[in-house]
Structure 1
Amino acid sequence: MAANTNAERVDLAPDLSVSRITKGNWQLAQRHGPEVEREVAIEDMRRFVEAGFTNFDCADHYVQVEELIGEFRTRYPDLAKQLTVQTKVVPDRDVLPRIKKADIEFVVDRAIKRLGVEVLDLAQFHWWDYDVPGYVEAMGWMQDLKKEGKLRYVGTTNFDCQRMSEIIESGVEITSHQLQYSVIDRRPEHGMVALAEKHGFGLQCYGVVAGGFLSPKYLGAADPAAPLANRSLVKYRLILDEFGPWSLFQEMLTVLAAVGEKHGTNLSNVAIRYVLDKPQVATAIVGAKTAEHLEALKAVASLKLDADDRAAIEAVIAKGAGPEGDCYALERVPGGRHTTIMWTNQNLKGVGAR
Structure 2
Amino acid sequence: MKKRKLGHSDLFVTELGLGCMSIGTEEKTARNIIETALEEGINYFDTADLYDFGENERMVGEALKSVREQVILATKVGNRWKSDKTGWTWDASKAYIKEGVKQSLKRLGTEYIDLYQLHGGTIEDPIDETIEAFEELKAEGFIRYYGISSIRPNVIREYINKSSIVSVMMQYSILDRRPEEEALPLLHEHGISVVTRGPLAKGLLSEKLLSKASEKGYLDYSYQELNEILPRLKERLAANRSFTEVALQYNLANPAVASVVAGASSPEQIRSNVAAVRSKSLTNEEVSFIREVTKPNIYMQHR
Q: TM-score range by the shorter chain?
A: 0.7 to 0.9
Once the 2 structures are TM-superposed, how far is the Cα of residue 65 of structure 1 from its aligned partner?
Answer: 1.1
Q: Alignment partner for residue 297 of structure 1, among 273, 276, 293?
A: 273
The reply on whether 1:66 has 2:57 as its aligned counterpart is yes
**Equivalent runs, 1:59-208 vs 2, <5 Å:** 59-63=48-52, 64-74=55-65, 77=66, 79-92=67-80, 94=89, 96=91, 100-130=93-123, 132-170=124-162, 172-208=163-199
Once the 2 structures are TM-superposed, how far is the Cα of residue 254 of structure 1 from its aligned partner?
Answer: 2.0
What is the percentage of aligned positions where both structures have the same residue?
A: 28
Counterparts in 2 of 1:266 and 1:154: CA distance versus 1, 3 Å: same
CA distance in 1 between counterparts of 2:233 and 2:21 reads 25
The reply on whether 1:313 has 2:294 as its aligned counterpart is no
1:130-187, Cα deviation, whole Å (9 max, x unpaired): 3x340232122111111111110010111533323323333x2110000111111111
Once the 2 structures are TM-superposed, how far is the Cα of residue 41 of structure 1 from its aligned partner?
Answer: 0.9
Once the 2 structures are TM-superposed, how far is the Cα of residue 37 of structure 1 from its aligned partner?
Answer: 2.2
1:219-264, Cα deviation, whole Å (9 max, x unpaired): 4x38457xxxxxxxxxxxx7x43231223223333244335544x4
Q: Which runs of 5+ in 1 are unaligned?
A: 1-6, 29-34, 226-237, 334-354
Number of residue pairs matched? 292
Counterparts in 2 of 1:142 and 1:305: CA distance versus 1, 3 Å: same
**Equivalent runs, 1:220-299 vs 2, <5 Å:** 221=211, 223-224=213-214, 240-262=217-239, 264-299=240-275
1:198-239, Cα deviation, whole Å (9 max, x unpaired): 2110001111111222211134x38457xxxxxxxxxxxx7x
Once the 2 structures are TM-superposed, how far is the Cα of residue 94 of structure 1 from its aligned partner?
Answer: 4.1
The reply on whether 1:10 has 2:1 as its aligned counterpart is no
Q: Which runs of 5+ in 2 are unaligned?
A: 81-87
CA contact (8 A) 2:172 2:196 kept: yes
The reply on whether 1:23 has 2:14 as its aligned counterpart is no
CA distance in 2 between counterparts of 1:90 and 1:45 reads 25
CA distance in 2 between counterparts of 1:244 and 1:289 reads 27
1:23 alignment partner AA: L
CA distance in 2 between counterparts of 1:59 and 1:104 reads 13
CA distance in 1 between counterparts of 2:158 and 2:262 reads 29
Once the 2 structures are TM-superposed, how far is the Cα of residue 106 of structure 1 from its aligned partner?
Answer: 1.3
CA distance in 1 between counterparts of 2:212 and 2:282 reads 29
**Equivalent runs, 1:206-217 vs 2, <5 Å:** 206-217=197-208
CA distance in 2 between counterparts of 1:144 and 1:103 reads 13
Counterparts in 2 of 1:260 and 1:136: CA distance versus 1, 3 Å: same
Deviates more, 1:204-213 or 1:298-307: 298-307
Counterparts in 2 of 1:271 and 1:222: CA distance versus 1, 3 Å: closer
CA contact (8 A) 1:255 1:312 kept: no
CA contact (8 A) 1:21 1:285 kept: yes
Normalised TM-score (structure 1): 0.75
Counterparts in 2 of 1:298 and 1:255: CA distance versus 1, 3 Å: farther
CA contact (8 A) 1:256 1:270 kept: no
Give 3-state SS (helix, strand or coil) of 2:218's partner.
helix
**Equivalent runs, 1:338-349 vs 2, <5 Å:** none
Residue in 2 that maps onto 1:339 = none
Counterparts in 2 of 1:183 and 1:125: CA distance versus 1, 3 Å: same
Residue in 2 that maps onto 1:46 = 35
CA distance in 1 between counterparts of 2:122 and 2:155 reads 11
CA contact (8 A) 1:242 1:323 kept: no
Residue in 1 that maps onto 2:85 = none
CA distance in 1 between counterparts of 2:135 and 2:242 reads 41
Cα RMSD of the aligned pairs, angstroms, is 2.4
1:281-335, Cα deviation, whole Å (9 max, x unpaired): 1111111122222232233223221233223322221xx3x74316xx4xx79xx
Give 3-state SS (helix, strand or coil) of 1:86's partner.
strand
CA distance in 1 between counterparts of 2:26 and 2:89 reads 32
1:269 alignment partner AA: E
Residue in 1 that maps onto 2:298 = 324
CA distance in 2 between counterparts of 1:223 and 1:19 reads 30
